[in-house]
Amino acid sequence: MQRHELGTVPVHRGAANGWEVARPLGGASLDGVRMAGFRGPTAAGLDLRVVPQPAVVVVIGLGDDPFTVESPRGRRPLRSLVASLSPGPAHIRGERVECVEVLLSPPAAYAVLGVAPHELGGSVTGLEDLWGLDEHGLREQLSDAPTWQRRLTLTDEFLLKRAAEAPPMSPEVAAAWDTIVARRGRVRVGDLAASFGWSRKRLWSRFTSQIGLTPKRAAMLVRFDHAARALGAGQSAGDVALACGYADQPHLHRDVLALAGCTPGALAARTASAG
């Protein structure tokens, strides 16, 4: 994976919700990785319904209180967590939230998690379950670090080390994912397979085993992500359906219901409030 330089970290406060956010200038050192530090306002906690997105989400908690994750698997307190590409219905709550969030593309997740994304089981789970003592050590280092710049640098170095020790994803699978993202989910699986000289069945098998979704589901997720952002920005469902490549508005409605468990109108309100 390509390496970049980690720059300085600007910190700003959201005027609307009071959250403090720190991001590295120039991005992270590994391709497919985005990270930020978050500190919530003292008087308010976190109350978040998980919305699927084309990234594996890692959250490393730094506060004294664990997050509470509610899902079909039950209710579980977690200091740090990882949400798969399609995590299913889940609700995350927390008080006095302070954390580092890392968004991983599937190739990046394949490199740093230690398991293929499909092994996450389509859920929100504890990061300690994947990283063991490494998670505990990193969380302690980040909690003791005096600045957001130091915290993000430590996270960046940790991910670099894990990526250097991991086997790479199949280049054809990584390229197939990149193509799906670049075309905003508007791809035909047969055409995608043919571009690598593979059969549709071979692409389906390799892609699913390494990404954790079928190529068709991945395209659906990428298209949904663009639609969710447009809905959250206030665009009408009809305009979003047309712009994002849905056959019609009922097609958009079905996909939103399948992935987010709600209507486009409810998703628009949820996405806008989260932003």
Q: How far apart are alpha carbons 51 and 35 in whole angstroms? A: 18
Average pLDDT, the chain: 87
**Number of structural domains the chain divides into:** 2
What pLDDT is stored for residue 274 in this prediction? 56
Given a cut of 50, whether residue 5 has pLDDT beyond it is: no
pLDDT of res. 272: 61
- Residue 171 pLDDT more than 50? yes
Residues 160 and 188 placed together within one structural domain of the fold: no
- For the segment 229-240, the average pLDDT, to the nearest whole number, is 94
Do residues 159 and 190 both lie within one domain?
no
Q: In terms of domains, do 260 and 186 share one?
A: yes
Is 118 a domain residue? yes
| Co-location of 120 and 212 in the same domain | no
Give the tens place of pLDDT for each residue, 11-59.
444 434 678 899 988 788 999 999 999 998 765 678 888 888 999 999 9
Q: What is the pLDDT of residue 43?
A: 57
Q: Among 142, 164, 186, identify where a domain stops.
A: 164
Q: Report if residue 18 sits inside a domain.
A: yes
- Which of 14-28, 52-66, 155-169, 258-272 is the least confident region? 14-28
Q: What is the rounded CA–CA span in Å between residue 97 and residue 37?
A: 11
Distance CA 73, CA 162 (A): 29
CB 93 within 8 A of CB 197: no
Q: In terms of residue numbers, what domain contains 249?
A: 171-274
Tell me: pLDDT of 72 over 80.
Answer: no
User: Euclidean distance between the first and final Cα of the chain, in Å?
Assistant: 30
Provide the strand spans (E) within the chain: 11-13, 20-22, 33-39, 46-49, 56-61, 67-71, 74-78, 80-83, 91-94, 98-104, 124-126
